[in-house]
Amino acid sequence: MNFVGFRLSAALALILLACFVAWQLLGRPQPSPARTLATPQMMSGDLLSPILPLLPVQGLDPGRVALGERLFHDARLSADLSVACANCHNLAAGGVDGQRFSVGIGGALGNINAPTILNSAYNVAQFWNGRAATLEEQAAGPIQNPIEMGATWSQVLSRLGQDEKLVAEFRRLYGDGLTADNLLDAIATFERSLVTVNSPFDRYLRGDRQALTRLEEQGYRRFAEYGCVSCHQGMLLGGNMFQKFGVLGDYFAGRSVSEADLGRYAITGREEDRHVFKVPSLRNVARTAPYFHDGSAATLEQAVLIMARYQLGRELSADDVEAIVAFLGTLDGELPGSNQR
């Protein structure tokens, strides 16, 4: 071998050695989130855990929370004085109305299942298609939607402006008093307080090994190992990303596709966003039937089977479903000021 050839061979060897070292340090395959099973030793500050205990939102003004709660239950925000936010988001029923599609003013029927308002402070965006970036923006939507509350701001502010006590409360809490922006801020502040803490699973994550039964713990293990945790992770077990409905199967095949089925495509117009939705939180999921954006799954057992089939390409056994549903029941937490699960 001549000198030039030797130098080329040496250089090639050094490059290969550098690549190998880089692979060892940086490129070595990491455990998949679907395979990373949080244990009681993986506390809330440990970012290795794909699921974290739920924490309340800090720094909320108690006065604005209380004002927002009043407005949340106030039917004067609707055109015909018949619908309040609480109609579709019943806090005592998991933050939903239990209907496939909600009923608005004049008996108008919606075309998409109402998601829970509980824990919505931690969502990456609001609504199934993520069209609202904030809770303030979300709250404005139903008030002005013609088939939901159907009101105008001039109508709402005129009515509320005749309530002297309410006007005085706005003046006390906001420098410029009763305005549309302040009304939305109050409702959103109240909604941010609706964090359901201290579920059995949160206690388990914090180290209480007795918080889950054997079946519930088996369900958690299958939930993680089968891959559900790839999308349902973080504090909400969801709510922090978007995903296509039908990753490993065409959920919409053989059916008439509605505008609600389009998902984010209706917002962005990008083909890759067709049938892409915000991954829903699984917090309190045992209380929020029916399931999916179209409300097509009447029971949690049905929802688990459908998710496994279309998102994971897996057919679950009856034992799998029983265990996973048992685990999902441990995600039912407590509302602020409540002593009940």
| Residues identified as active-site | 148
77 DSSP 8-state letter: G
C-alpha span between 274 and 272 (Å, rounded): 6
Segments in the chain forming alpha helices (H): 3-22, 62-72, 85-88, 135-144, 153-160, 164-173, 180-192, 200-205, 214-225, 265-268, 300-307, 318-328
Cα 275 versus chain centre, distance = 17
Tokens of 99: 């209907």
CA distance 207 to 101: 40
Contacts (Cβ under 8 Å, ≥6 apart) of 279: 231, 232, 238, 239, 240, 241, 242, 243
Between CA 322 and CA 332, with CA 326 as vertex, the angle to 5 degrees is: 150
